[in-house]
Amino acid sequence: MQRAVKLSVAALSVLAALAFLPALADAQPRLLESTPKEGAKLGRPPQVMLLCFNEPIAAATPNDYSLTLARAGGATVPVTATPVRGNTCLEARANWPEDATGSYALSWRVRQQQGGQALSGTLSFSIAPPSPPDVLRLALITIAAVGGAALLALVLTLFRHSIGFEPHRPPAETESESLVGHH
């Protein structure tokens, strides 16, 4: 009997320890979401870049976090960051060059507020001008619109002729109308 109790206590202890593992794993800071998303292809430079974490980051001094925005080829773009949303996010604004097309890497480093554990990573995205309009598609849409208008005009003309309406001729006088004016 004592052996069964000891085994039960041991099993419950193991289960309790396993139940706390997700909480311990979640104690590590991690990136939850970003704007832009990893690998995004943008038509223009983002006004704001946002990095959001699963817990507050240390933000007492600018040394608690850092961001570097680099273009392909290594040139850096000036960027400023501000902790927002209860210090769970970093909002970054870049001083984009006039021609901002190309690939970028936003490298970041933060420390968690409780415990001071460091976390770093890189977010990659690219900026390219929007592709030109599809000329064939525009031509087909134009042809369809003109063809539809021509078909509508034909149907209305046939309808007008079928009811005998001809706007360029005055209506025919009836016999009673012709007698009124002639005595």
| Phi and psi, residue 87, nearest 5° | 65, 20
* pLDDT of 18 over the 90 cut: no
- Mean pLDDT of the chain, nearest integer: 81
Higher-confidence position of 42 and 61: 42
**Residue 170's pLDDT band (boundaries 50, 70, 90)?**
low
Write down the pLDDT at residue 92: 95
Domain locations in the chain as residue ranges: 26-127, 135-169
CATH number for the domain formed by residue range(s) 26-127: 2.60.40.1220
Write down the pLDDT at residue 97: 93
Least confident span in 96-100, 121-125, 161-165: 161-165
